[in-house]
Amino acid sequence: MSVNRRTFLKSSAIVGGAFGLGTFPSFAHASVAHLNADGVDERALVPQPSPQKKLSILILGGTGFIGPNQVRYAVDRGHDVTLFNRGKTNPGLFPKVKKLVGDRNLPDGHNVLKGKKYDVVIDNPTTLPQWVKGAGEALKGNAGHYIFVSTISVFSSYLSPLDENGPLHEPGGMDTPPDQARVGANYGRLKVRSEMEAKVQFGDNVTIVRPGLIVGPGDLTDRFSYWPIRIEKGGEIMAPGKPTDPTQYVDARDLSEFIVRLAETKTLGTFNATGPKSPTNMAEMLYGIKAVTTSDAHFTWVDADFLQSNQVREWSDMPVWVPPRGDNAFMLQMNVSKAVAAGLTYRPLAVTAKDTLEWYHTRPAEEQAKLAAGIAPYKEKTVLAAWNARKPAGGP
């Protein structure tokens, strides 16, 4: 479940090392002035002035996948950050940041927060509405702004490009036990209930951010990472569905930075937070990833029905993809214009892909050998062989 500290620090150092920007010889007159430390072309981003007011920010969680990105960004922008968690995941992270310890599954798990006052509370890890309730009761009157990280899984179906008012699941039960949190549709339902509970506890001062698939360095689910890793390996790659099938994802850093800026501007309301800004598709994603490698990858597009009949699962075996039909027709075509207008910006895909690969190569060999998502190599080969055998010679 967790990245160990050594791995994390190592990966941080490597990403940091890639920041070594310099100057090109004078003949080319190339400028890097518009590239920021992440190699992001800042001209493409909405200008982000330094915050005028320094905030006290309590981050619930903060040591998993998206949390560390928030912490780094918030600290860099001068905010006073406190972490609250069990102290079990990556406890060595951020030695200079204040830490409070508590277990949110316990009845008095939030007690350490009582009497403390924060401008903003960012709640990252919550899957149970009881956690929101616990935090709300402990912080009653002492939190100026509560930002809840929800999910686009709150929607019950995706029959059009949904904005924030799309149809939601029936809310899950307030007292669902922790071991049931991710069973069946519980995840989406409990997030719906948690969103409701956020408003019960924190009134109007609530922001709900609903990310789609969160990707990039640090992701232990490998759901996006599968593709850069597979493409880098090269050869014939099974690509799912049609090249024009839509896809969406959001770099954990873009999401985290957006959340911190929402705190700075105290922007309230609900936001779909996936990307990129404009529609993209599977071919653009896969070919874009190929562009950061020197791989000889070539792509064979295998249709959705064939994949299904060969027990190749969308999303898990073929990550970042669901066939655009039925209830999921527009699952990867969420309307994100509200978040974009509120300041969500996007790194180029090439940056996400490159950083994901660099991070992957810093992971322990046994983790590199066993990805948590994506079809197994032998299965890919078998299904490709079957697909190629059924096509007429010289066919598309």
Partner 1 sequence: MSQSSTHRFDPATVQPAQKKLKILVLGGTGFIGPHQVKYAVDRGHTVTLFNRGKTNADLFPKLEKVLGDRTLPTAYDSLTGRKWDIVIDNGAQVPSWVREAGAALRNSASKYVFVSTLSTYVNRRAIGIKEDGEQHKPAAPDATQQNAQYGPLKVRCEMEARAAWGDRALILRPGLIVGPGDLTDRFSYWPVRIERGGEVLSPGTPDDPVAFVDVRDLTEFSVRACENSLSGDYNCVGPKSTLTIAEMLYGIKAVTTSDARFTWVNADFIAEKRLRPYTDLPVWMPPRGDNAGWARMDCSKAINAGLTFRALADTARATLDYYHAQPPERQATLKAGLSPEKEVETLAAWHASGRA
- What residues line the site for partner 1 (CB under 8 A)? 18-32, 34-35, 39, 41, 44-45, 243, 276-279, 283-284, 287-294, 296, 298, 345-351, 353-354
User: Which tokens sit at 366?
Assistant: 């046994």
Smallest gap from Cβ 306 to partner 1, in A, equals 20
How many of the other CB atoms lie within 10 Å of CB of 309?
Answer: 11
Q: Which is nearer to partner 1, 191 or 290 (CB)?
A: 290
Q: Considering the complex, state which of residue 17 and residue 141 has its C-beta at the smaller distance from partner 1.
A: 17
Q: Phi first, then psi: what are they for 192, rounded to 5°?
A: -60, -45
Give whichever of 42 and 164 is closer to partner 1, judged by the CB atom. Answer: 42
Task: Tell me the C-alpha distance between 255 and 278, whole Å.
Answer: 16
CB neighbourhood size of 369 (10 A)? 8
* Residue closer to partner 1 (CB basis): 32 or 386: 32
Which CB, 207 or 280, lies closer to partner 1? 280
Whichever of 294 and 311 has its CB closer to partner 1, that residue is 294
In whole angstroms, the minimum distance from the beta carbon of 160 to partner 1 comes to 20
For the stretch 61-65, contacts whose Cβ atoms lie closer than 8 Å and that sit 24 or more positions apart, written own/partner, are 61/85, 61/123, 61/124, 61/125, 62/94, 62/124, 63/2, 63/89, 63/90, 63/91, 63/93, 64/2, 64/89, 64/90, 64/124, 64/125, 65/214, 65/218, 65/219, 65/220, 65/252
Nearest CA to 74 out of 355, 262, 343 is that of: 262
Going by C-beta distance under 8 Å and a sequence separation of 6 or more, which residues neighbour residue 253? Answer: 38, 69, 73, 216, 347
Nearer to partner 1, 21 or 112 (CB): 21
Shortest Cβ 241–partner 1 spacing (Å) = 15
Q: How far is the CB of 385 from partner 1 (least distance, A)?
A: 20
Identify the CA nearest to 173 among candidates 139, 135, 128, 214.
128
- For the record, the structure tokens of 190 come out as 């409990």
Closest CB 31 distance from partner 1, rounded Å: 5
Amino acid at 315: W
> Please, what is the end-to-end C-alpha distance for the chain in angstroms?
42
Cβ contact 84:100 at 8 Å: yes
Residue number with CB closer to partner 1 (281 or 328): 281
In whole angstroms, how close is the CB of 253 to partner 1 at the nearest point?
A: 14
User: Shortest gap between Cβ of 340 and partner 1 (angstroms)?
Assistant: 11
In angstroms, what is the minimal distance from the CB of 5 to partner 1?
A: 25
What is the distance between the alpha carbons of residues 231 and 171, in angstroms, rounded to a whole number?
A: 40
